Structure 1
Amino acid sequence: MSHFNDFNNAQVAKLPKHLKQFIVDQNYEKYTPIDQAVWRYVMRQNYSYLKNVAYYPYIKGLQRAGLSIEHIPDLQTMNDNLGKIGWGAVTVDGFIPPAAFMEYQAYRVLVIAADIRQINHIEYTPAPDIIHESAGHAPIIADTDYNNYLSYFGSIGAKAMFSAKDFELYEAIRKLSILKEAVDANDSEIAKSEKELRYINENMGEPSEMALLGRLHWWTVEYGLIGTLENPKIYGAGLLSSIGESASCMQRHVEKIWYNMDTINYAYDITKPQPQLFVTETFQNLIDVLETFANTMAFRVGGAESVMKAIDCKNVATAVYSSGLQVSGIFTDIGLNADDEVTFIKTTGVSALAFAGKQLENHGKDYHKDGFSSPVGRLKSSLKPLENSSDEEMELAGLYLGNKTNLTFESGITVAGKVNNILKRAEKIILITFEECTVTEGNGNVLFKPEWGIYDMAVGDKIVSVFNGAADKDAFEEITLVSLEKTQQIVYDDKTLKLHQFYKTVREIRESGDHLAKLPDIFDQLRTNHRQDWLCALEILELVYHKKIYHQLERDVLIYLELKAAREADHRKLINDGLHVIKNPVSQLVVE
């Protein structure tokens, strides 16, 4: 990616190739004057309401993250500001895969959707947008305990095992969110897509590690409350960026429950307001709960159950031998002894070997293109793991270059062949390569034949860890440049372009304090030709109300908006909330 822009931000510069592929340009000039007005409306609403219910650093945090109430943030300003607290930000196109999202967090980079919600979805949008990501997540990043939680969550989430169903669900959610924000989507397409999503959702089966972590993320990062059950404050970005739900969530009918390990049993529905919310006393408690859950995950537990999760996942995963050797590929088979200990693992299709997250030379997926299989466990009657053998002990076992030897494992698997190479890393033997090799199971079943070529035998007593994705992602993953096409390019007709011009002029009048005499004419045009619009009239009212001039215009606009609110159910709350903020202004720079 030759034109990669790291915004002079240390965290963004550190991103590996496989994460950079999701980044798109923000294209700041594509935001229309209406988009800017939508940002300002939501931020004024948030500010007016949240100053009482948000966790204390919200308003200060906005400024520390380089956000203003007046303008959609530009990425360079955000990075200049976030850089001071060890974070960065990039823009992406809509939903990205959950594992990638987690990894960005681990790298301390906020992922921001470049798009902004349309005015007809101003209160809430199911699609990620710049209001949610920047006005929701960014302001709290300045809190050290919180940002430690976020990056730690990312590092654990990136290792979480998926089920094949999770991938289906991700695709269905992405498809629906793009459809819902598309200008020309028809209702039957949306209905069909919603039905598909519901079906997948209802047939997920046993939740995977990623699904359970997804719940912890949802009830903390997105919908979390902090403080006491009686008087909690909001820190979840989903609430902070939804002017509808941030108000309704504080009401009695939404149950408040202490956040602990039990929260993992509560599934969530992305399309409905939350029936209950979870309160943590401190951000440290979030880290403690996460730690307790991480101790049950395959990347810390290893063993047969973890390899089974990898087989279930049907996607690339990595199994780690106790020697440190990492095997990446799609796992398809496992051998078990009577005590359910792993005796054998097998991948199918392109696979690779790595150590400490770096691919071993000549063991990439070109070389292991047809899969990899190897025994796991001890040699029969040996007193210690093979990986810990000294050079003398290796000689005694007949394991030296050029020697024909015959190894028998406790599991009954035998490996007979000529030693071609012995690979050591960090004082441990991790891989022995054989020529003219035959590998046989105890029951006589042949696992490898000499005519298949060179046999690489992994060395290790146990499988100590299994995690999602490849060990060396940059070496393993196809870096398919995600298309730079945006989810949707909107072409505006002349009428809409005229409306954009009115918004632009009103903003210029507000910012310069000049040319107020243009307002009556703009209002006239709105009333005649743009009857569906309500926000521009609201901005005109705000100007004349505070200037205390043009009393007739003020009365006309107010009556126009009050009638509109009475007649148009869709706009009622939006107009009334807008009027409330005009009549009860909050000084923009009050820092609580």
Structure 2
Amino acid sequence: MSDFNDFNNPQVAKLPKHLRQFIVEQHYEKYTPIDQAVWRYVMRQNYSYLKHVAYYPYIKGLQRAGLSIERIPDLQTMNDNLGKLGWGAVTVDGFIPPAAFMEYQAYHVLVIAADIRQINHIEYTPAPDIIHESAGHAPIIADADYNSYLSYFGSIGAKAMFSSKDFELYEAIRHLSILKEAVDTNQTEIEKAEKHLRKIADNMGEPSEMALLGRLHWWTVEYGLIGTLKNPKIYGAGLLSSIGESSTCMKEDVEKLWYTMDTINYQYDITKPQPQLFVTETFQNLIDVLEQFADTMSFRRGGAESIHKAIECKNPATAVYSSGLQVTGTFTDMGTNEKGELSFIKTTGGTALAVENKQLEGHGKHYHKDGFSSPVGKLKGINTSVEEMNATELEMHGISAGQHANLIFESGIQVKGEVTHILRHEDKNILISLENCTVKEASGNILFQPEWGTYDMAVGEKIISVFNGSADKEAFDEIIHISQKKTHKITYDEHTQHLHQLYARVRSIREDNINTEELPGLFLFLKNEYPEDWLCALEILEIVYHKKLFPELEGEIRNYLTYKATTKSDYRKLITDGLIVIENPVNQLITEED
């Protein structure tokens, strides 16, 4: 990807190609004047309310992340500022798969949806947007304890095993969020997508590691509270970016519970306000709970249970032998002994072998294009495992270049063939290559035949770790699941484009303090041509109120907005909150905080 823009940010520059494939250009010029007004409205509301309930100094956090209340952030400015905190940011197209999202966090890169919510979803959007991602996640990055948790969560999450059903759920969530944020979707289509999502969600079976981690992520990074049950503060980005839910979540009917390992038992619904939230006393507690959960995961446990998860995943995963050898491929079969311990593992299709996350020369997925299979365990009647044997011990058991070996494992699997090569790494034997080789189970079932070519036998008494994805991602050239459904791009008609021009004119008058005499005419045009609009009317009122201009116009706009708030329930809170911020200006509040 030669044209990759890393924004001169070291963290973004380190992103591997399998993550770069999700990045899209921000196209700042495509944000409309209404988009800019939506950003400004939400951010002014956020600050007005969040100064009381947010965990950290909101404005200072915004400024350190390169954000302002006045306009949508530009990615270069954000990267310049986040770079000083050891982080970076990139823009993507809506929801990306959880595994990729987690891995970005591990690389200290924030993933920001390039789109911004439509004005009809100004309080809450079902789709990721630039308000949620940048104004929610970025400001708290300045807190060292929190960003340690975020990056550590990413490194754990990137290893989490997912199920094939997780993919279906991800696609259903992404599809619904795109429909809900689109301008012209009919209600029947949305209801159909909601029904489809519910059907998948209700038939997930046992939740995967990724699903459980997703819950921990949701109840902390997205919807977390910190402090005490009686007086919690908001740090979750989903709450910080929702001017509706950040207010309602503090009410008593939203139950507040302590954040513990038990939190993994609470599912969540992205389409509804949350019935309960979880409070942590410290960010260190988040790390402690994450550690506790990580101890239950395949990458730390290994064994048959973990290979079973890899088989269910139906996507590339990596199994690590106790010798250090890593096998990456799509696992399709395994064998166990009477104690339930692994005796054999098998992949189908392109498979690669690696050590310490570096692919072994000559053992990429094109060489092992038809899959890979190998025993697991010790040789029968021999205490020393093959991986630990020195040259003398190996020779004693017929494992030496040029010798004919007849290896019988405790499981009964027999490997017979001529040894051609023994690969060692850090005093351990990790791979034995044999020609004219036959491998069969105790039952007589053939696992490998001489005519299939060279048999590369992995060496290791146990599988000590299994994790999602490949060991050497660059060499494996892993392409993560990318959705074919794209977010909707709006084409504006001429009538709407004139409204954009009107918003731009009002902003220009406010910012440049010129041509205020145009305001009465602009409001009259707005009222007659765009009777559904409320936000531009608020912005005109803001100017005349603060500059003490046109008292009659001010009264007319107030009456107009009051009537709207009374007759249109959807507008009531938005207009009321907008009037409060006009009369208690944010700039004044910022000065008071500083």
Q: TM-score higher than 0.5 here? A: yes
Q: 2 CA distance for matches of 1:369 and 1:531?
A: 64
Check the 8 A contact 2:96/2:482 in 1, yes or no: no
Letter in 1 for 2:334: I
Check the 8 A contact 2:328/2:471 in 1, yes or no: yes
Letter in 2 for 1:187: Q
Q: 1 CA distance for matches of 2:223 and 2:402?
A: 63
Letter in 2 for 1:250: M
Q: How does 1:445-460 map to 2 (within 5 A)?
A: 445-460=445-460
Q: Which moved more, 1:406-415 or 1:485-494?
A: 485-494
CA shift in 2, pair 1:26/1:588, >3 Å = farther
Partner of 2:317 in structure 1?
317
Partner of 1:91 in structure 2?
91
Gaps of 5+ in 1: none
Q: TM-score, normalised by structure 2?
A: 0.98
Partner of 2:406 in structure 1?
406
Partner of 1:289 in structure 2?
289
CA shift in 2, pair 1:480/1:312, >3 Å = closer
Letter in 1 for 2:318: T
SS of the residue 1:141 aligns to: helix
Check the 8 A contact 2:135/2:241 in 1, yes or no: yes
Q: Which moved more, 1:259-268 or 1:29-38?
A: 259-268
Q: How does 1:431-446 map to 2 (within 5 A)?
A: 431-446=431-446
Letter in 2 for 1:177: S
Q: 1 CA distance for matches of 2:149 and 2:43?
A: 26
Is 1:589 aligned to 2:590, yes or no? yes
Letter in 2 for 1:212: L
Check the 8 A contact 1:21/1:481 in 2, yes or no: no
Is 1:36 aligned to 2:49, yes or no? no
Letter in 1 for 2:498: K
CA deviation after TM superposition for structure 1 residue 228, in Å: 0.6
Partner of 1:557 in structure 2?
557
Q: 1 CA distance for matches of 2:56 and 2:555?
A: 38
Q: 1 CA distance for matches of 2:262 and 2:487?
A: 38
Q: TM-score, normalised by structure 1?
A: 0.98
Partner of 2:526 in structure 1?
526
Letter in 1 for 2:234: I
CA shift in 2, pair 1:269/1:455, >3 Å = same
Partner of 1:275 in structure 2?
275
CA deviation after TM superposition for structure 1 residue 482, in Å: 6.6
Letter in 2 for 1:458: A
CA deviation after TM superposition for structure 1 residue 150, in Å: 0.2
CA deviation after TM superposition for structure 1 residue 585, in Å: 2.0
Check the 8 A contact 1:298/1:465 in 2, yes or no: yes
Check the 8 A contact 1:419/1:434 in 2, yes or no: yes
Check the 8 A contact 1:24/1:484 in 2, yes or no: no
Q: Which moved more, 1:486-495 or 1:352-361?
A: 486-495
Is 1:505 aligned to 2:505, yes or no? yes
Partner of 2:60 in structure 1?
60
Letter in 2 for 1:396: M
Check the 8 A contact 2:175/2:485 in 1, yes or no: no
Is 1:339 aligned to 2:339, yes or no? yes
Q: 2 CA distance for matches of 1:175 and 1:117?
A: 16
Partner of 2:514 in structure 1?
514
CA shift in 2, pair 1:454/1:16, >3 Å = same
SS of the residue 2:318 aligns to: strand
Letter in 1 for 2:251: Q
Q: 2 CA distance for matches of 1:483 and 1:346?
A: 29
Deviations 1:353-410 (A, max 9, x none): 1111111112111111111110000111222221111122122222121211111111
Check the 8 A contact 2:164/2:314 in 1, yes or no: yes
CA deviation after TM superposition for structure 1 residue 252, in Å: 0.7
Check the 8 A contact 2:12/2:90 in 1, yes or no: yes
Check the 8 A contact 2:47/2:58 in 1, yes or no: no
SS of the residue 2:407 aligns to: strand
Partner of 2:72 in structure 1?
72
Q: How does 1:342-421 map to 2 (within 5 A)?
A: 342-421=342-421
Q: 1 CA distance for matches of 2:478 and 2:489?
A: 27
CA deviation after TM superposition for structure 1 residue 446, in Å: 1.2
Check the 8 A contact 2:93/2:486 in 1, yes or no: yes
Is 1:182 aligned to 2:144, yes or no? no
SS of the residue 2:233 aligns to: strand
Letter in 1 for 2:223: Y
Number of equivalent positions = 592
Deviations 1:83-107 (A, max 9, x none): 0010000001111110000000000
Partner of 1:152 in structure 2?
152
Deviations 1:281-305 (A, max 9, x none): 0000000000011001000001111
CA deviation after TM superposition for structure 1 residue 485, in Å: 10
Q: 1 CA distance for matches of 2:314 and 2:470?
A: 13
CA deviation after TM superposition for structure 1 residue 421, in Å: 1.4
CA shift in 2, pair 1:294/1:574, >3 Å = same
Deviations 1:310-368 (A, max 9, x none): 11212211111001111111111111111111000011122111111111112111111
Q: 2 CA distance for matches of 1:102 and 1:217?
A: 10
Partner of 2:299 in structure 1?
299
Partner of 1:487 in structure 2?
487
SS of the residue 2:416 aligns to: strand
Root mean square deviation of aligned Cα: 1.5
Partner of 1:24 in structure 2?
24
SS of the residue 2:590 aligns to: coil
CA shift in 2, pair 1:484/1:504, >3 Å = farther
Q: 1 CA distance for matches of 2:115 and 2:481?
A: 19
Q: 2 CA distance for matches of 1:181 and 1:56?
A: 30
Letter in 2 for 1:89: A
Identity rate, percent: 73
Q: 1 CA distance for matches of 2:415 and 2:289?
A: 45
CA shift in 2, pair 1:470/1:171, >3 Å = same
Partner of 2:141 in structure 1?
141
Q: 1 CA distance for matches of 2:413 and 2:484?
A: 51
Check the 8 A contact 1:388/1:428 in 2, yes or no: yes
Q: 1 CA distance for matches of 2:57 and 2:561?
A: 35
CA deviation after TM superposition for structure 1 residue 56, in Å: 2.4
